[in-house]
Structure 1
Amino acid sequence: MPERNNYIDFHCHPALKPFGRSFRKSPAGMQSQHRSHKTSLWWYDPPSVTDKLLNYLGGLTRFSQSNAHALARGGVGVACASLYPLEKGFVNNTIKRDALNDLLLDFATSLGKDRIDFLQGMTDYFADLNLEYQFYKQCHGHVVRLPQGSFQYRLVRNYGEIEENCRSGDTTADLRTLCLVISIEGLHVLNTGLGRVPDPWEVLQNLRKIKAWEFPPFFITVSHHFWNHICGHAPSLSGIVRKVANQAEGMGQGITDLGRRVLSEMLSRENGPRILPDLKHMSGRAREEFYALRQSGELGDSHFPLLISHGACNGLKSFRDPFPGDLPTARLLNPVEINFYDSELIALARSGGLIGLQLDERRIAAKSALELVPRSLLRHKIMHYRSELLWRQVQHIAETLDRAGLFAWGCMAIGSDFDGIIDSLNGFWTAEELPFLSDFLERHAYNYLKKAHWQLPENSIRADEVVERIFSGNGHRFLKAHFQG
């Protein structure tokens, strides 16, 4: 039987690959009820030896990381399923044909050529968003039989429904439920960033339509990889993708007038439930402006929690003072703008917010630190060395908050970004390995806490409590407090 850990993953893309494959047949966007079909969320696609080698050598992830089967086997009880109409900047470029073909081949391996062809000609992100939303709804509550027992996934509107499903799982031994919380990555879904000036009326109407969904999103990532007329984005691409996809337009800009109107509408409860803004991918300047707008009350609400669904620390003091502090972890982290500054971590903790720690090697560690990771052919050693990269993120957050006189362990969770075109920690390829990651992280926590000295006495807690909070407890408390529908 799969682990009964009730883990939470605050950011993953279970439908990205099966939804893409559904474009091979007409009508597109149909999910199969057969778990053995590649257009099912339950299609089990663990990495082969060749897959792992390609990932290890080239950072290419051609296998499914967060299919519902892998989530269930990994003990995930709640996942924030991110809807993401892939941006046209990935597939439409004025570049040499050979390079474009390489890029398309890489995407086609995961999504399928028919999906790529569709994206190249797409003129309506909002229609594509609704199609993916319906894809999830089609098999909501449909029971599948796996080798580990009977399972279903259910979309949920609030934390009460999560609790109800948990209680049902405790009393119904032969049926397990994976709760999916809808989220969205990128406000381009409102039909912005399409090479034309967006119509503000259309943008706001699309947002209100989203808020009227049967299962409205709990949060939306404000920006993503390309200019969306809402706010500037941070540099985010690497490798071959960075060479062929131009992120320059809008990069580093602040929040636009339209962006202020959209953020106010998201946070308003007048036309539907409040939708939290997710700070990931926003430029440093846009994030600074966002904090100022929140504090001033110009967004209509100044008491909502700050949320980073899938992020990492950069070890730097602040956007205005971008230099490492004196913590031992500061120079081991990736010092890039898309990652978060110490000042932001403190503000997030004070707001009662949450950071989902992402599992992308390229994002969480400095290049020099990655080069120094010991090599091994033994799986348990690989897992030990690679999990330490994530532990450094945890340690940095804890020590930063302790220095600020704050509880060190209350704002961290997991936001894997599985299936989000990431290079996951070697040895922890998919959601199925989350229990192993939990175990190895507890080892690092135990060794660290034996020698740790705290300014705040309540920060001295056990290693198992630290890990329980990150993988489950903090996330459940955050959802209970803020996911009210």
Structure 2
Amino acid sequence: MKKIFADLHCHPTMHPFAFKQAGKRKKSSLWSNNAPKKRQRDSPYPEYYQSNMPALARGNVKIVVASLYPLEQSWLDPEIIGTSIISDIIAKYFISHLPIKYINQVQSTGFDYYEFLEKEYEFLKAESGEVHKVDGENWKYVLARDKDEIDQYLLEENTIIVIPSIEGAHSLVSANADELIHKPQVHKSTLENIKKIKEGWEFPPLYITMSHHFYNGMLGHARSIPDGAGSFLLHQQVGMNEPMNPRGEEVIDCLLGINKHEGNGRRILIDTKHMSVAARLWYYDKIKKFNEGKGDAEKIPIIASHMGFGKHDTILGSVTLPDTDKEKYEDSDYFNPWSINLSKEEINIIVDSNGIIGLNMDQRILSGARRVQQSTRFSNSEIKNNDKEVVAFWTEQIGENILEIVRAVQNSDLIVPEGKIKVWDCVCLGTDFDGMINPVDSFIVADEFINLKESLKEYFDNSISDKSVFMGMTTEEVLDKMMFQNVADFVLKHYK
């Protein structure tokens, strides 16, 4: 099997950028070697770096789509956690593991999302092309401008190709969280800022994830914060499940360069992760109408960048029981049934658009309540040593999410039989590493992609009796696609 990898969605800049903004030397470079300690393997709030450049180099990750994310102020709302040193410590150690000085910047009423987006982008650019030693070898990362540069860099040894993306359309607005909701006039800056990105950024984003954890004044979001104090205190319910509004509709047209914004520059694709079901339904219908009668080269692909399988047959079926109903998750089995995850229907819609689905490495996104409960049978020692039983457990959970995505197409009437094999061109890694996730205990950093690939091969070869799910391909072939080639093909086709 090929031993090169790609990741459609992770956050290598998030923590080092925060340390840089706080004036810290330690941990303030993308090359800061903040690897996990053995005791940290089972940490639900990782304080180590998962997708920094040393980890990507050791994992032989050739392509990474780096998500820029101005931290949403609602995580650190002073009205909820206060402004004292105690609240700063709570925010640092239990919400973000970010430096207190940076937390205070985000909490400021003068905080401007777009300003911090540009700062994070400049931070990502700053070390591009610099050579650094990793385990005695010279490595560098490079930002690529287009398909031709990606092709060139793919031929270079020890070179990590980085392509920006943006998480949350709040990032496009010159405003803070309160203004997004209560002062609609601030949204006038959004189209101007998109123009700045399209005309002024040397390395524009491949895609934008329109929603994130909190309401941005353009469209609703799906529930993403589990029950408990965080769910109650953070007020995620504001704007949750709302449909797309006219502001959001225009922003999407502007990003895609369609309708009255046709010809406004390089297309920036839309990622549907975190969107409410109502917003997703609107978007899927829009893309279906746009793509009708067009060849593959002209279609707009649907991106679902860091997802899990949600088990429901239909999109609307995923909200028959609201996500806020405690029993919805507490009664779940293998898979997380929240509407933030993919139904079988929308998997087919994404595949039909020649889109791409990234697999999130977060425990809860990948798992229903029963599976999470089963994972608690492992002792701290077994997890820290990454015993084979722990590896087998999480490999199975990851493998079944992959296979259920494939089976959703294989067993569907929505795609013609000869087109179903395309699903194996649409599944990839979208880890969300460094995005404040609780990673599956056996595969917590990019270093461990090779272990994941080998474990999945063993699981597919020895535990899957019905090999028809591989549609005539070998397990090596499907894993090469999923763990590298699909991302490479996607960016070569659409980053231009």
TM-score by length of 1: 0.88
CA shift in 2, pair 1:375/1:180, >3 Å: same
Which residue, 131, 140, 145 being the options, matches 1:152?
A: 140
> What is the 5 A alignment of 1:277-426?
277-297=270-290, 303-322=299-318, 331-373=333-375, 375=378, 377=382, 379-404=387-412, 405=417, 406-407=420-421, 408-426=423-441
Shift of 1:14: 0.6
Partner of 2:456: 441
Matched, 1:460 2:472: yes
Q: Which amino acid aligns with 1:312?
A: G
Q: Secondary structure at the match of 2:66?
A: strand
Do the aligned residues in 1 keep the contact of 2:318 with 2:338 (CA within 8 Å)? no
> What is the 5 A alignment of 1:111-150?
111-121=98-108, 122-150=110-138
Shift of 1:194: 3.5
Matched, 1:203 2:190: yes
Give me the whole-angstrom Cα distance separating, in 1, the residues matched to 2:370 and 2:74.
30
Give me the whole-angstrom Cα distance separating, in 1, the residues matched to 2:178 and 2:96.
25
Do the aligned residues in 2 keep the contact of 1:387 with 1:425 (CA within 8 Å)? no
Query: Which has the higher mean CA deviation after the structures are superposed, 270-279 or 230-239?
Result: 230-239
Give me the whole-angstrom Cα distance separating, in 1, the residues matched to 2:441 and 2:336.
17
Matched, 1:43 2:3: no
Which whole-Å deviations, capped at 9, do the CAs of 1:396-451 have from their partners, x for residues lacking one? 01111111231142210000000000000102111111110111111121124443
Give me the whole-angstrom Cα distance separating, in 2, the residues matched to 1:396 and 1:245.
33
Do the aligned residues in 1 keep the contact of 2:457 with 2:476 (CA within 8 Å)? yes
Give me the whole-angstrom Cα distance separating, in 1, the residues matched to 2:195 and 2:315.
33
Matched, 1:179 2:161: yes
Matched, 1:227 2:215: yes
Which residue, 473, 477, 484 being the options, matches 2:485?
A: 473
Q: Secondary structure at the match of 1:332?
A: coil
Query: Share of identical aligned residues, percent?
Result: 29
Shift of 1:467: 1.1
Matched, 1:270 2:263: yes
Shift of 1:342: 0.7
CA shift in 2, pair 1:441/1:233, >3 Å: same
Q: Secondary structure at the match of 1:77?
A: strand
CA shift in 2, pair 1:263/1:345, >3 Å: same
Q: Secondary structure at the match of 2:155?
A: helix
Q: Secondary structure at the match of 2:438?
A: coil
Shift of 1:380: 2.3
CA shift in 2, pair 1:16/1:4, >3 Å: farther
CA shift in 2, pair 1:96/1:208, >3 Å: closer
Which whole-Å deviations, capped at 9, do the CAs of 1:208-253 have from their partners, x for residues lacking one? 1111210000000011111111110011113553243111211100
Which residue, 5, 11, 14 being the options, matches 1:13?
A: 11
Give me the whole-angstrom Cα distance separating, in 1, the residues matched to 2:47 and 2:480.
30
Give me the whole-angstrom Cα distance separating, in 2, the residues matched to 1:48 and 1:304.
43
Shift of 1:286: 0.7
Q: Which amino acid aligns with 1:177?
A: T
Q: Secondary structure at the match of 2:80?
A: coil
Query: Which has the higher mean CA deviation after the structures are superposed, 156-165 or 307-316?
Result: 156-165
Q: Secondary structure at the match of 1:19?
A: helix
Give me the whole-angstrom Cα distance separating, in 1, the residues matched to 2:27 and 2:79.
32
CA shift in 2, pair 1:211/1:96, >3 Å: closer
Do the aligned residues in 2 keep the contact of 1:449 with 1:463 (CA within 8 Å)? no
Partner of 2:325: none
CA shift in 2, pair 1:400/1:109, >3 Å: closer
TM-score by length of 2: 0.86
Query: Which has the higher mean CA deviation after the structures are superposed, 254-263 or 155-164?
Result: 155-164
Give me the whole-angstrom Cα distance separating, in 1, the residues matched to 2:57 and 2:237.
39
Do the aligned residues in 1 keep the contact of 2:291 with 2:299 (CA within 8 Å)? no
* Structure 1: stretches of 5+ with no match in the other structure: 170-175, 325-329
Do the aligned residues in 2 keep the contact of 1:144 with 1:151 (CA within 8 Å)? yes
Shift of 1:144: 1.1
Q: Which amino acid aligns with 1:94?
A: E
* Structure 2: stretches of 5+ with no match in the other structure: 321-331
Shift of 1:101: 5.1
Q: Secondary structure at the match of 1:153?
A: strand
Q: Secondary structure at the match of 1:94?
A: helix
Do the aligned residues in 2 keep the contact of 1:310 with 1:417 (CA within 8 Å)? yes
Q: Secondary structure at the match of 1:168?
A: coil
Shift of 1:199: 3.4
Q: Secondary structure at the match of 1:308?
A: strand
Shift of 1:303: 2.3
Which whole-Å deviations, capped at 9, do the CAs of 1:53-87 have from their partners, x for residues lacking one? 4x1xxx12111111110011011011001000000
CA shift in 2, pair 1:231/1:109, >3 Å: closer
Q: Which amino acid aligns with 2:36?
A: P
Give me the whole-angstrom Cα distance separating, in 2, the residues matched to 1:337 and 1:100.
32
Do the aligned residues in 2 keep the contact of 1:4 with 1:75 (CA within 8 Å)? no
Give me the whole-angstrom Cα distance separating, in 1, the residues matched to 2:70 and 2:161.
22
Q: Which amino acid aligns with 1:194?
A: D
Do the aligned residues in 2 keep the contact of 1:63 with 1:110 (CA within 8 Å)? no
Do the aligned residues in 2 keep the contact of 1:345 with 1:401 (CA within 8 Å)? yes
Q: Which amino acid aligns with 1:229?
A: G
C-alpha RMSD of matched pairs (Å): 2.5
Q: Secondary structure at the match of 2:156?
A: helix
CA shift in 2, pair 1:426/1:240, >3 Å: farther
Do the aligned residues in 2 keep the contact of 1:230 with 1:259 (CA within 8 Å)? yes
Shift of 1:200: 4.0
Which residue, 68, 76, 85 being the options, matches 2:61?
A: 76
Give me the whole-angstrom Cα distance separating, in 1, the residues matched to 2:178 and 2:289.
32
